[in-house]
Amino acid sequence: MVADTPKSVGAVGVRPFRFWQRLVLTAIAVAWAATSFWGATKTLPPGTRVDSPWSVVPIANVSFIPDVTSADAYGRPVVSQGIFDQVLKVVRSARHFIVLDYFLFNDQGTAGTATPVRAISGELRDALIEQRRLYPDIRILLVTDPINEVYGSVPSRDLILLRAAGVDVAITNLNALRDSNPLYSGLWRLGISWWNGKGTGEGWLPNPLDESDAPVTFGSWAKLLNFKANHRKVIVADDGHDGVVGVVGSANPHDASSAHSNIAAKVAGPALLSLMRSEMDIARFSGWKGAIPLPDEGAPPTTQAATPPGIRTAPASVAGSVALGDVDVAAGRAARVKVITEGVILDELREKIAAAGKGDSIDIAMFYLSSRVIVESLLDASSRGAVVRLILDPNKDAFGHEKSGIPNRPVASELVSASDGGIHVRWYRTHGEQFHTKLVMIYGSQRLWMTLGSANLTRRNLGDYNLEANLAIEVSRNSPLADQALEYFENLWSNRAGIGIEYTTDFAAYADPAQTRYWLYRLMEGTGLSTF
C-alpha cells in the first residue's frame, strides 16, 4: 500500500489536468466552428447583390467586345484585342468622373508568359494621371483588390503614382466579405489575423504573384489563403457631356494577362448608374470618405410622352433621350440591360437555364466551371431537349506554370457522360495564355439572353463570396448584337478563322474521367479549399 501511494496521488492529479485540457480543446473547437459558420453566412456589406431594374437602350449603345488570342500553324500568336482600347477611350472622353474597379492592376508575373504582353497597367495608369492633369476637377475613384500590394507586403508603384496625382484609391476590405474557405478563415479570424499584424515588415517567403519579385511576409500569405477577392472588372464614367458610359467584362489591366482571351460589353446610358452606386458603397466600407454625385442627382424631372398600355419602358437617359420599349427590343432597335452582381448572377442563370427546353440553345464560353447548381441545371436542360454547347479553358496554363486541369476537365467529363453525349464540349487551344472569357448565352427563335462580366461559374464566384459584376443583356434574335455574339461563339466552335488557325479542339483531347480527380474537385469545390 505504501509503495502504491505516490502512483495513486499522481493519478488523481492527472484527472483534473485532463479534464481542463479537454474543456479548453472543446472550447477552442466550438469557437472555431462558430466563427467559421458566422464568417460563411454573415450579412453582406452594402454594394453587394445588385439586381438593377431593366433599362431599354438603343441597340447602338451596346457593343460586344471580344479579345481573342490563338496561334497559327507555326505556333506564332495571333492576337485580336480591343477591350482596353475601349476602356482607354472611356477614360479619355471623361470630364467629370471616372469610377473603376479591377481585381488585377499591376505588371507582375510577366517573366513566365509564353505570349507577347502589352503594358496595359501602365497605359491605364498614365491615362488616368493625364486626365487628372487636363481636368483638375475630375473625380477619379479606383477600387481594387489587396492582391496588387501582395496583401500589404509590396507597395504598388502604380497605386502610389495614382494617389500622388489625386486619384482616390480604395483597397477593398475583404474582411467584410463572407468566407469561402471557412475551415481556414475561422481559424484565421480567431487568432492569425491579429497575430500576423498588417503583413508588413521584412519578407522571407516567395512572392505568390511573381517569384522574381521581392519576398513577402507570413502575414501576406496568411491573408491570401482566405481565398477571397474583389474580382470585378468595370469602369463607369461620364461621356464628356451629360451621359454615362462604361465597360464591364472579364479582362484585367494586368500585363501578364494581356494576351488572354476575354469578353466585355460597352454600354452607354443610365443602366450603369446602379453599378456606380455599388462601387462607391464598396469603397466606403473599405475606408473611402469621399463622394461623387451621380449624374441624375439634382436633375429636373424629364417629361415623357404617354406610353401605350402593355409596353414597358425604361427611364429617360441622363441626356433626356426618349424612352424605348419592348416593341423596339423585338424589332432589334433596342436592348434590355441590367446590372447583376454576386449571388444575383446565379439566381438569373438558374432561372434562365430552367426555362430552356426543346428548341432552345445554351452556349457557354468559360474559364472555370465547377458550380454544382450550374452542372445540375445544364443536365436538366439537356434532358428537356435544349442544345447545350460549352467552350472551356483546359486549365493547363497559369503564367508559365502547368495546372492540373481541375475543375474543368472532370466537370466536362461528368457533363458529357451524364448526358449520354447530349451536352457538347470543346476545349480552347491555349498556348501559354488563358481562355479567360465568362459568357453565357441562352436563346430561341425570338430572343437571346446573355450574361458576361467577371463571374466564373463556380461556388466562389456565384455564392456571395467574391465581389463580382456582370451585365445581363436581352435582345431580339435578329438584332445585330445577337448576330455578333453568336458569330463570335460559332467562329470559335467551328474554327472558322481561315487556314492554319484552330481556336478549339475536340472534347477527347482533354477529357478526364478519373474518379480520383473528380472527387478531388468535389472536395475542393465543397470546402472552398481551392483558388477557383
Write the pLDDT tens digit of every residue in 212-271. Answer: 677 888 888 999 999 999 999 999 999 998 899 999 999 999 999 999 999 999 999 999
Q: For the domain covering 55-277, report its CATH number.
A: 3.30.870.10
| pLDDT computed for residue 292 by the predictor | 94
CA distance 422 to 99: 44
Measure Cα distances from 119 to 20, 76, 396 in Å.
Answer: 60, 20, 24
At a CB cut-off of 8 Å and minimum separation 6, what does 292 contact?
97, 99, 139, 141, 276, 280
| pLDDT computed for residue 401 by the predictor | 74
More confident residue, 112 or 466: 466
Burial of 431 (0-12, 13-18, 19+ CB in 10 A): middle
Q: State phi, psi for 348 to the nearest 5 degrees.
A: -65, -45
User: Is 80 exceeded by the pLDDT of residue 488?
Assistant: yes
Third-level CATH fold of 324-527: Endonuclease; Chain A (3.30.870)
Question: How do beta strands 387-392 and 361-366 pair?
Answer: parallel
CA distance 334 to 478: 11
What pLDDT band is residue 8 in, cutting at 50, 70 and 90? low
| pLDDT computed for residue 498 by the predictor | 66
More confident residue, 497 or 245: 245
Q: Computed from CA positions of residues 99, 103, 107, 110, in that sequence, does the dihedral angle turn out positive or negative?
A: negative
- Among 176-180, 314-318, 331-335, name the most confident range: 176-180
10 Å Cβ neighbour count for 321? 15
Closest CA to 246 of 263, 265, 231: 265
User: Has this prediction a pTM greater than 0.95?
Assistant: no
Rg (CA), the chain: 25
CA distance 196 to 183: 18
215 with 207: CB under 8 angstroms? yes
CA atoms within 13 A on the CB side of 451: 25
Place of cell 404617354: 306
What pLDDT band is residue 13 in, cutting at 50, 70 and 90? low
Write the pLDDT tens digit of every residue in 70-102. Answer: 988 777 888 889 999 999 999 999 999 999 999
The total number of residues written for the chain in this structure? 532
CA distance 505 to 393: 11
Write the pLDDT tens digit of every residue in 333-388. Answer: 999 999 999 999 999 999 999 999 999 999 999 999 999 999 999 999 999 999 99
At a CB cut-off of 8 Å and minimum separation 6, what does 118 contact?
81, 84, 255, 258, 259
For the residues 383-403, what does the mean pLDDT come to?
90
At a CB cut-off of 8 Å and minimum separation 6, what does 402 contact?
396
| pLDDT computed for residue 254 by the predictor | 96
Where are the domains positioned within the chain? 55-277, 324-527
Domain 55-277 identical in fold to domain 324-527: yes
User: Is 80 exceeded by the pLDDT of residue 306?
Assistant: no
User: Is 90 exceeded by the pLDDT of residue 404?
Assistant: no
User: Is 50 exceeded by the pLDDT of residue 305?
Assistant: no
